[in-house]
A and B are shown apart, each in its own frame.
Chain A
Amino acid sequence: MTTHSLSAGALHADRIAKSFGGLKVFHDVSFTVPAGGLLGVIGPNGAGKTTMINIFSGRLGLTSGQVMLGGTRIDGRSTFEIAMMGLVRSFQHTAIFNGHSVETNLLSALRFSRRDRSVLERLSPLLDQFGLIDNWQRNAEVMPYGLQKMLGLTMALATQPNMLLLDEPAAGLEKSERANIDTYVKFAREEFGCGILLVEHDMEIIKRLCPSVIVLDGGRLIAEGPPTDVLSQPHVINAYLGGSDEEDSDVTH
């Protein structure tokens, strides 16, 4: 059951807007991630990328507009309800169950999403490549940052989502570890038929993986299209030059 008709699993943001009190984060943003598709999201720090993922995953409410997953409106629903509908997110900073082993972390992901161990068997090539099998019984909290991050991503995938929202998966990874993100994204799409919304600062990853990206800046969606086209547009370059320290500051941000 990994294939879905286009309309069934698509994630569609329809003129969404979000403000925190007087602070308008973004407004009038619309886009679609087709079922099984992959859409990149770029934009300087503070553009509202994480806020958008928080909204889609039910942690925050919308100010206006609506979010549809397939034929169902999901904005305003609770996080676990949205997760059970197949839309699952990862976190910009490591998010794991501290003090527990890699195994317990993964088994918890299976248990909470009501999946069985066969999902782990399917994930075992990934688990092996990321070095998680070598650390199977280790306290996840004391593992290197990169391993913790890959564990968090793998836990999201272990829920067998139809749509994954990845919040800067490569942030904080060593350059040598970044190929893991490529592997992960390809695996999720090919083996699980997952649609993916990929928020990422690493333009190399965006160019390698994403057929299409959107650019968020100054509260608006300022460009949309294939990465090479979009990244050569003057106003996109400006947006990035305005905050050119992103690439390195994302580790601490």
Chain B
Amino acid sequence: MNNRVPKSLPAEIRPSLFSGHDWIALAIVCLTFVIPFTSTNPQVLSQTNLILIAATAALGVYIMQRLDLMSFAVPSFMAIGGYTVALLSMKLQLTDVFVLAAAAFLMPALCAIPLGALILRLKGVYFVLVTFVLTEIVQLLLFEAGPITGGSNGLVGMPAVKIFGMELWDNPHVLLTTCGLAFVSFIVTSVFTRWFRSEFAAIETNDVLAESLGLAAWKYKAMAFSVAAGVSGLAGFALVNMLLTAHPSSFAPMSSVNYITYTIVGGKASILGTLIGALLLVSATDYFALSGEMSPGLFGLLIIVVTMVARGGVVGVVSGLLYRLAGQSPPLKNGEQDLGVNGEKGQ
């Protein structure tokens, strides 16, 4: 070799656990705690409630998207969480919010382990199909298992949940419960997805390579499916708590389209996208007074439009603009600056 001075390794820059987007999302969810204490407007309370529940449910989709899997299973796990809470509070008089939240998380998370073993081998459209069939089956079970689920009547007349023995029964208190569940879900999801971000990103981009380097991909897929189920279960708890009823129609299979739309329209690259998507679309649904039957069709259309013109969704477009204004290039997937060719990365 010639006498070129050998270059040594650049120093390691440890990326922080949370990205800016994570912090913004967590801050927004945190701010919603103010609403139950400052507002008595029923419209504001119920809209905030709906948005937070929608965002929490959509986190179940967001987690599976880390693995490039599109999950339609969210309503099934919401139902498992919601009915678990309804049964515990009505049949066993368990009303402590912490006990119920733990049950609403753990029950679906545990159910997801054997289910995951069956379906996590599937990819792409096959995974979509099987998760959709799963929600149909769960829906059918809710109607057919009358003695437990109350069949088409659902479980009506749940007692109010309690925190430290205090009843959370009026509208602001119900919203407070939802805020708490949403906050826990956002924390769990962001810590979980960021902690294992190398593993998830590797499985998403090239699972064959990841396994050939020694990564047990199935473990991470199983964990993700289980945590996604748990978070969906918390959304189910919040929904049932708001309606004081567990009813099959709250967990309609078509609602999975909504949750998927929130993540894609908001921007599926970050947890902030899920929150913004839910915020915008739930508000729009209310503003335009869209009926329940119409929204899946419109949302489907919206997904196609966003996928074609702005893959990064609302958050992607806005942060792209901000980077351009600041004269910087957007970061690579794991948060490093791309100092080379500034290629557009269509995923």
Question: Would B213 and A88 count as touching, CB distance under 8 A?
Answer: yes
Q: Does A202 contact B (CB under 8 A)?
A: no
Which of A78, A99, A128, A152 has the most chain B CB atoms closer than 10 A to its own CB? A99
Tell me, yes or no, whether A207 is within 8 Å of chain B by CB.
no
A135 within 8 A of B: yes
Task: Tell me if B208 and A137 are in contact (CB < 8 A).
Answer: no
Chain A residue total in the interface (Cβ 8 A):
49
The reply to whether B213 and A109 form a contact with Cβ atoms under 8 Å apart is yes
Closest beta carbon of chain B to A204's beta carbon, Å: 21
| Residues of the B chain whose Cβ atoms lie less than 8 Å from the Cβ of A127 | 9
For B180-206 the 0/1 string (1 means CB < 8 A from A) is 000000000000000000110110011
Is A135's CB under 8 angstroms from B340's CB? yes
- C-alpha spacing A34/B285, complex, angstroms: 68
- Residue A63 at the B interface, CB < 8 A? no
> CB < 8 Å: which of A59, A80, A99 contacts B214?
A80
Q: Which of A116-171 contact B (CB under 8 A)?
A: 117, 120-121, 124-125, 127-129, 133-139, 141-143, 152, 155-156, 159
Q: Which of A80, A114, A120, A137 contacts B338 (CB 8 A)?
A: A137
B334 and A137 contacting across the interface, CB-CB below 8 Å: no
CA distance A162 to B130 in the complex (A): 41
Neighbour of A114 across the interface among B198, B214, B347, CB < 8 A: B214
Does B8 interact with chain A (Cβ within 8 Å)?
A: yes
Which of A156-207 touch B at CB < 8 Å? Answer: 156, 159
Residues of A within 8 A of B217 (CB): 80
Closest residue of chain A to B337, judged by CB? A137
Majority SS at the chain B contact face: loop
A residues near B209, Cβ cutoff 8 Å: 91, 95-97, 152
- Residue from the list A59, A139, A143, A155 in contact with B208, Cβ < 8 A: A59
- Listed stretches A18-26, A43-51, A100-108, A221-229; interface member: A100-108
Is the CB of B293 closer than 8 A to any CB of chain A? no
Residues of B in contact, count (CB < 8 Å):
35
The answer to whether A100 touches B333 (Cβ under 8 A) is yes
Interface presence of A113 (CB below 8 A) = yes
Question: Are B213 and A83 closer than 8 Å at their CB atoms?
Answer: yes
Report B329-340 CB contacts with A as 1/0, cut-off 8 Å.
000111011111
B178 CB to closest chain A CB (Å) equals 36
Known interface pairs A127-B9, A139-B345; A83-B340 also in contact (CB < 8 Å): no
Our pick among A79, A101, A136, A156 for the contact of B211 (Cβ within 8 Å) is: A79
Of the listed residues A104, A109, A112, A135, the one surrounded by the most CB atoms of chain B closer than 10 A to its CB is: A112
Contact A83 B212 (CB under 8 A): yes
Instruction: Please judge, given known A-B contacts A112-B215, A128-B6, A135-B340, whether A97 and B12 are in contact too, CB under 8 Å.
Output: no
Check A103–B202 contact: CB distance below 8 A.
Answer: no
Check if B147 is an interface residue, CB within 8 A of chain A. no
Q: What CA separation (Å) do A108 and B211 show in the bound complex?
A: 11
Q: Are A139 and B341 in contact (CB under 8 A)?
A: yes
Tell me the smallest distance from the CB of A172 to a CB of chain B, in Å.
Answer: 17
Interface residue ranges of B211-229 to A (CB < 8 Å): 211-217
* Contacting pair B339 A137 (CB below 8 A): yes
- Which A residues, 31 to 80, have Cβ-Cβ distances below 8 Å to chain B? 57, 59, 78-80
A15 within 8 A of B: no
B4 to chain A, nearest CB (A): 9
What is the CB-to-nearest-CB distance from A122 to chain B, in angstroms, rounded to a whole number?
Answer: 10
Q: Does B7 sit within 8 A of A, measured CB to CB?
A: yes
B343 touches A (CB below 8 Å)? yes
The residue in A81, A84, A100 that gathers the most chain B C-beta atoms within 10 A of its C-beta is A100
- Sample 15 A-B pairs with CB under 8 A, ordered by A number: A80-B212, A97-B206, A99-B205, A99-B333, A100-B333, A101-B338, A108-B213, A112-B199, A113-B214, A128-B6, A129-B1, A137-B336, A138-B341, A139-B338, A142-B341
Interface residues of B (CB under 8 A from A): 1, 6-10, 12, 198-199, 201-202, 205-206, 208-217, 332-334, 336-341, 343, 345, 347
- Which 4 pairs of residues, A with B, have the shortest CB-CB distance? A138-B340, A83-B214, A112-B215, A113-B214
